Amino acid sequence: MVKSEGVRKSFGHTEVLKGINLVVMPREVMCIIGPSGSGKSTFLRCINHLEKINGGRLWVDGELVGYRQKGDKLYELKDKEVAAHRRDIGMVFQRFNLFPHLTAMENVMEAPVKVKGESKANARRAAEETLEQVGLSDKSHAFPNALSGGQQQRVAIARALAMRPKLMLFDEPTSALDPELVGEVLDVMRRLALEIGMTMVVVTHEMGFAREVGDTLVFMDGGVIVEAGDPKQVLTSPQHERTQAFLSKVL
């Protein structure tokens, strides 16, 4: 589903990604952990081209991200084509980024109606279903600021799901939440992975979630992948000393 070959990314003179190689298979849940500044969020944002990569190649569902290749020449994609690619990739942000001027229902309906051109009636029916899926059918007419952080994040997940994505990206989805609200969001994500078999890339600090739901765990530090493998193995017997140091601090 996602294939990354030597992906590099710099902001000015600082290189934050120094050659990332990984593959995410369909229905796989990959969790990425690592200290802050390790480049894990940046890499996630590269997958749907919110950040432009400076080197390497990145494919989603067999298509090159952000470029078209003809012969051995690369052509940048137009905004429109990039937008079309993004429709198949759902993204959930650390700070929710719900549209505050729209109700929960309108947040979920916005993209299907305006981007995909679905009829309002259809979109409403689908939105009711997705909101039910995240357990918020009773909040569909509430504005985001009337919802708790956990509820907002669940609406944000519903909003991403409404576009029926092939791949979901989660950028520290529980880091901005009060501790007692983390569970409800993780629950929704767990169901997404186990019941629907959604392909997911999750940047997280929730080791429990990574261990239980994740198929692969990737530890990143300093812009490179230090260690990757089965979550239980990496968490219990990390091979690399940087992984050991990091895990000893967070576990």
Compute the least distance from the CB of residue 165 to another protein, in Å.
10
- 223-248 per-residue burial string, b: 16 or more CB within 10 A, e: under 16: bebbbbeebeebbeebeeebbeebbe
Nearer to another protein, 27 or 95 (CB): 95
CB contact at 8 A, 119 and 76: no
64 in contact with another protein (CB under 8 A) = no
Member of 27, 68, 95, 232 binding another protein (CB under 8 A): 95
The residue behind tokens 């967070």 is 250
Residues in contact with another protein, shown as a per-residue x/- string from 9 to 48 under the rule CB under 8 A: ---------------------------------------x
Alpha-carbon distance of 132 to 214, in angstroms, equals 24
Whether 39 and 220 have beta carbons less than 8 Å apart is answered as yes
Of 11, 27, 76, 99, the one binding another protein by CB under 8 A: 99
Q: Residue 203 CB: number of other CB atoms within 10 A?
A: 25
Residue 97 token pair: 């980024």
Tell me if 21 sits within 8 A of 225, measured CB to CB: yes
115 part of the interface to another protein, by CB under 8 A: yes
Residue 86 binds another protein, judged by CB under 8 A: yes
Residue 91 binds to another protein (criterion: CB under 8 A)? yes
126: contact with another protein by CB under 8 A: no
Phi–psi pair at 120, nearest 5 degrees: -60, -40
Among positions 10, 54, 97, 148, the unique one binding another protein when judged by CB under 8 A? 97
Quick one: 17 or 104, whose CB is closer to another protein? 104
For another protein, the binding residues (CB under 8 A) are 48, 50, 79-80, 83-87, 89-91, 93, 95, 97-103, 110-111, 114-115, 141-146, 156, 159-160, 163
